[in-house]
Amino acid sequence: MGPLSVSHDQEALCLALSGDIDFVNSAPITQAIREAVIQSQPTLVRVDVAEVSFLDSSGLGVLVAALRVATDCGAVFRVERPNANVYGQLEIAGLLEIFGLADSDGGRSVAGR
């Protein structure tokens, strides 16, 4: 299985990322997400990052690019279930609120590590 899997849940587009998301694979993942969002025109884009072990600045760029394309399509964007490290990175990047992780601890408590 690759670092990205795509599924649909009613109006929501569910993207699941896994492994290290970094400068090595960020470009093709960004492209794939962009195509998936434009094609399915969802009202909600959920990115499950529970299986993400590492994000570098390019990996963060993937999430930001996903946010932008979702916003452009008028969809709500959410990042879900980050592990502690990823959560810490998102916190430093000041993205918790924008990714829908700040208003509740729902995303964080599910993360198993």
- List residues near other proteins by CB under 8 A: 20, 22-23, 26, 53-54, 56-58, 60-61, 64-65, 67-68, 84-85, 88-89, 92-95, 98
Phi-psi region of 112 (alpha: psi -120 to 50; beta: other; left: phi over 0): alpha
Choose between 12 and 98: whose C-beta lies nearer to other proteins: 98
Choose between 45 and 95: whose C-beta lies nearer to other proteins: 95
Choose between 9 and 91: whose C-beta lies nearer to other proteins: 91
Choose between 12 and 19: whose C-beta lies nearer to other proteins: 19
Instruction: Give the nearest distance from C-beta 111 to other proteins in angstroms.
Output: 14
CA 104 to chain centre: 17
Instruction: Give the nearest distance from C-beta 91 to other proteins in angstroms.
Output: 9
Instruction: Give the nearest distance from C-beta 2 to other proteins in angstroms.
Output: 18
Distance between CA atoms of 22 and 75, rounded to whole angstroms? 25
Distance between CA atoms of 44 and 93, rounded to whole angstroms? 23
Instruction: Give the nearest distance from C-beta 63 to other proteins in angstroms.
Output: 9
Distance between CA atoms of 107 and 100, rounded to whole angstroms? 8
Beta strand segments in 1-113, E: 4-9, 12-21, 44-55, 76-80
